[in-house]
Amino acid sequence: MGRVEGKVAFITGAARGQGRSHAIRLAEEGADIIAVDLCAPVRGVPYAASTPDDLAETVKLVEALDRRIIATQVDTRDRDALKSAIDSGVAELGKLDIVVANAGICIVGGWDQITPEVWQDTLDVNLTGTWNTVQLAAPHLIANGGGSVIMTSSAAGLKGLPFLTPYVASKFGVTGLGKAFAHELAEHHIRVNTLHPTGVETPMGGGDGTAAFGELLAAHPNLGGMLANSLPIETTQPVDQSNAVLFLASDEARYVTALSMTVDAGNTQY
């Protein structure tokens, strides 16, 4: 038996990167998947957006594991479309046990370079989209008698990393939101935890996504140490984060709630 055998998981941002990795890892351990992703650009984001073909590849990889998956192109900022995708997925797969609120964006820039549009879009995707996901999915967990919610925050949701003011604000918001949801949903036997990665080898976490750091660190070298990990690595792999998601989703973590779980190579530990 797999560690989440017979469970159904809803995952946002599932077309590639961490979201795809979470879908595959949970499917490997027996879960069926409801997957959504925007699959389109967000203004100001410097790295290439995921595509419908990326989401189709996630479907192919999950089905190769002999698990069911329903995938929809949805913007988590669009409550009506998101609710429809959740409700339709649950109707087809029969229930909901796990929610992984993973979708997010990151735009690097100095405090005086951030525009109102970058600020608002980052908060809308990272914080409001996460709130939408949990609030709209929770009734299905309640109807099923309980479940597990994992919300992707960041090392930047525990400490104020430089050159990321809107990202830091949004991820601190996710951290607090997770704790608030954990206490209110506990009476329904729903556990809510936040995940705090350091850098992850994804389009957002490398290449064009982090290129702006070079010039900023050259101008402000005294801040560079804040980005360093204690373990001698620069980034983790998506599966490193997915293994944590799997634990938090499984019955092994049945009494783990309101936890800020770090998979950060020591980045946030002082």
What is the rounded radius of gyration, in angstroms, for the C-alpha atoms of the chain?
A: 18
Amino acid at 155: A
DSSP string, 39-106: -S--TT--SPPP-HHHHHHHHHHHHTTT--EEEEE--TT-HHHHHHHHHHHHHHH----EEEE-----
255 is catalytic: no
Strands (E), the chain: 8-12, 32-37, 69-73, 98-101, 147-152, 190-197, 260-263
Packing angle, helices 17-28 and 52-63, rounded to 10: 10
- Distance between CA atoms of residues 125 and 76, nearest Å: 7
Options 47, 167, 255, 270, the catalytic residue: 167
Residues involved in catalysis: 167
